[in-house]
Amino acid sequence: MPVSRFLAELSLTWLDIAASLFFVLSWAGYALFAEWRAKSVPTLHSTMDNFRREWMVRMIGRDNRMVDVNIMRNLTRSSQFFASTTMLVLGALIALLGYVQQAMEVVSGLPFTVKASQRLLEIKIVLLVLIFVYAFFKFSWAIRQLGFCSTLVGAAPKPPKDENAEQYAADINRIALVTSYAGTNFNHGLRAYYFALAAMTWFLHPYLMLIATAWVVYILYHREFESKTLYALLGNDTSPQIKT
């Protein structure tokens, strides 16, 4: 049968299956864990949400909002950079699918590599394609959301005469919330880049993929929940000596 023939051509080992499953479960598991953990402890994203709302309070009170427009422009440029870079990476990966045989020869010449079938190498490339497609959708959606925020800033009411910006709480919350959504999508796109680095190690050895995946989860956790940057944003000068 075609399916059994395809599986035979893959030449999957138990280690390849374990590494790929560990990769998928680690990514999905960390995403769920980070969302759950953020409900009880401060994170980079939740802390920045507080600053985003404060920013919108300040914005409402300004007559000239060119500063806010420039900030939106800078945020959009970051997403645009990664979106365009992702398209270049996708183009290179799709082109690589036409040179799988040559890629096999290059990879097999590297030390500590496990020889894989051509079909399995194609699966590894397709995995990277899917990761970067996911990243592109996240970055492009963040760009659109920041565009919406720019429109909302332009549509924001005039500064209150009594200097009480909280009377425009609905406008402030609306813009801050959409900006937060954009930040969430940007973070998810960056997270995809981290896991793409782990997936690339599968070309060399499944054991490397296991180690790299665990390392990525460790880095993401510490940067989101225990980094010096987070403690600085919280105004805590006695942060532990951990990664920035």
30-47: pLDDT as tens digits: 999 999 999 899 999 999
pLDDT at 90: 94
- At 144, list the tokens: 């659109």
Closest CA to 195 of 222, 218, 224, 217: 217
Give, as one character, the DSSP assignment of residue 39: T
Q: Residue 59 corresponds to which tokens in the numbers above? A: 């914005």
- Residue 121 and residue 21: Cα distance in Å, rounded? 17
Per-residue pLDDT, 105: 64
135 residue type, one letter: A
Q: Is the pLDDT of residue 10 over 70?
A: no
Q: How far apart are CA 225 and CA 102, in angstroms?
A: 43
**Per residue in 45-60, pLDDT tens?**
999 999 999 998 888 8
The pair of structure tokens assigned to 132 is 């970067």
Cα dihedral: 188, 189, 195, 200 (round 10)? 170
Burial of 16 (0-12, 13-18, 19+ CB in 10 A): buried
| Interval 213-240: pLDDT, tens | 999 999 999 999 999 999 999 987 554 4
Could you tell me the pTM of the whole model?
A: 0.87
What's the burial of 72, exposed, middle or buried (CB within 10 Å: 0-12/13-18/19+)?
Answer: buried
Rounded-to-integer distance, Cα 96 and Cα 160, Å:
58
Q: Which of 26-35, 52-61, 89-98, 105-114 has the lowest mean pLDDT?
A: 105-114
Residue 224: helix, strand or coil by DSSP? helix
